[in-house]
Amino acid sequence: MFSRRKFLNRIVAGSALASALPNLATSESFASPAAPAMAEETPARNDDWMKESRWGRENWKVTHQTIEWPNKARVAFLCSIPFESYDMGEYPGDNSATVSEVLYGGKAGVWRIMNILDRHSVKGNFVTNALCAVQFPELVKTLADHGHEIVGHFWANNIPEDKLSVDRDRALIRRSISTIEKVTGKKPVAWVAPGWWAGPQTLEILAEEGLTSHANSPSSADVPFAVTIGGKKIVVVVQETVLNDNGFFNNFNSPATYVEYLKRDFDRKYSEGAMSGKLFNFVLHAHVSGRPYFADALDEVISYVKSFPDVWFTTRQPLVDWWLQKNYR
């Protein structure tokens, strides 16, 4: 049996690891000293983990409610594209081949994915490490200018939030939000911790910073749900960990296998959506699905879903706004 961390490690292994190399030029507005070693940051664990906000008792509630999407849509379509980077200042010993591999996302993958989305008039949710805005500022601004959403994904994907002190977590969250805002003119609309592993106070910090959504409870429901964090209502936008291109790519499955899983997931949700709306949310990493041999998977899935009526092609903010407006639980 695998622990949750071991399972997710298999799903996301090798993903999310790109970085600013030591000789990378960065503007003073983004520069900051390297963080202390992670071993020195590990916080004391709370034995009563049920009280920690990253889990929270509200995550265990069963909410049988009828969901109605705009225009009576059966399914809300949400495409999540992690655009990730690796901070060599944090882990200078990290594998240079992995660092180089993931840089492909900013050099080519995001552009290819954006072109596919734009051709279909579909907006994507780019789950972006703030370091990407330092490495590829023109690209991140172009994404925002094209109407795609930027979701905060911490500073870099090799910095585990759950192993940081609360103060260090807060400092890097604020730095990440500020960096993305400087490049795009907007705060990120939501937050996904690297590997989905939020720290003990991460969600409270996000609530303090004004975010109204996070996605750190994957595979826990078929639709979003609301929790109360820091006295504020926060909408958790869930996604299936299995519907993640990395799991298929790392296990040498073909893109066709990934597409088959996505179609099956959509078909079932579309059928059930006749009675209560469902959420179809899947993950394509820019450095994986943005490559020529995988990019057609996105093209095929969008074309397939667009052949059905009553689908709401959305991004996170409209979905969260709708959830709050309808006062769903």
Q: Which residue has the higher pLDDT, 126 or 219?
A: 126
- Identify the CA nearest to 292 among candidates 119, 112, 123, 83: 112
Give the model confidence (pLDDT) of 86-103 as tens digits. 887 766 656 777 788 889
pLDDT tens digits for 101-141?
889 999 999 999 999 999 999 999 999 999 999 999 999 99
What's the pLDDT score for residue 39?
41
pLDDT of res. 93: 59
Q: Is the dihedral angle over the CA atoms 66, 70, 74, 77 positive or is it negative?
A: negative
**Using CA atoms, how far apart are residues 65 and 111, in angstroms rounded to an integer?**
39
pLDDT mean over 269-288:
97
**pTM for the full predicted model:** 0.82
Flag whether 265 is in a domain. Answer: yes
Average pLDDT rounded to a whole number, residues 38-49: 48
User: How would you classify the pairing of strands 311-313 and 75-83?
Assistant: parallel
Q: What average pLDDT does range 239-247 have in this prediction?
A: 85
Q: What is the pLDDT averaged over residues 186-204? A: 92
Residue 22, helix vs strand vs coil: coil
Residue 85's pLDDT band (cuts 50, 70, 90): very high
Residue 304 has pLDDT above 60, yes or no: yes
| Tens-place pLDDT, residues 138-179 | 999 999 999 999 999 999 999 999 999 999 999 999 999 999
Looking at residue 23, what is its pLDDT?
Answer: 34
Q: Could you tell me if residue 266 is inside a domain? A: yes
**CATH at residue 297:** 3.20.20.370
> Do the domain assignments include residue 11?
no
Q: What angle do CA 172, 176, 182 make, to 5 degrees?
A: 140
β-pair type (232-236, 225-229): antiparallel
Higher pLDDT, 30 or 50: 50
Residues paired with residue 213 on neighbouring β-strands, in sequence order: 235
Domain range spanning residue 230?
Answer: 62-325
Q: What is the pLDDT of residue 75?
A: 98
Q: Is residue 47 part of a domain?
A: no
Examine residue 165 and state whether it is found in any structural domain, yes or no.
yes
227 compared with 180, residue with greater pLDDT:
180
Q: How far apart are CA 163 and CA 51, in angstroms?
A: 18
CA distance 263 to 294: 16
Domain count, the chain: 1
What confidence category does residue 24 fall into, taking pLDDT thresholds of 50, 70 and 90?
Answer: very low
From CA 66, how far away is CA 96, in angstroms rounded?
Answer: 49
Mean pLDDT to the nearest integer, 303-318: 98
Three-state DSSP at 266 gives: helix
* Torsion angles phi and psi, residue 110, rounded to 5: -65, -40
Residue 22 lies in a domain: no
% of residues, the chain, pLDDT over 90: 64
- Percent of the chain's residues with pLDDT above 70: 79
Name the one residue in this structure whose structure tokens are 């994986």. 288
- Residue 13 domain flag: no
pLDDT, greater one: 219 or 168: 168
Residue 198 lies in a domain: yes
